Amino acid sequence: MRVDLRVKHDIEARKAAIGLFERGHGFESAAKALSVPRNTVRQWLYVYRSFGSEVLLSMDGKQTRYTYEQKVAAASAVVDG
């Protein structure tokens, strides 16, 4: 049996990230301020921009399967800025 060594970031870290995003911080400065890996915070920022804070806060670390419509909405949000 494999042991999952990935770090799970709690909801408080994601709430703090949302606060930083709302104050205009990008993922790099938010990652540094929170001591969380850049790629993790980048993913949080994409989720936040695409789906909002409610979805970001409900993430539980499990791989989610998105519907075609959700993928199109996320891609459109990233492309449109």
Q: What is the pLDDT of residues 14-66, one digit of tens each?
A: 999 999 999 999 999 999 999 999 999 999 999 999 999 999 988 876 666 88
Tokens of 45: 């920022």
pLDDT at 79: 92
Measured between alpha carbons, how far is 8 from 35 in angstroms, rounded to an integer?
Answer: 13
Q: What is the pLDDT of residues 56-80, one digit of tens each?
A: 988 876 666 888 999 999 999 999 8
- Tell me, what DSSP letter sits at residue 61? S
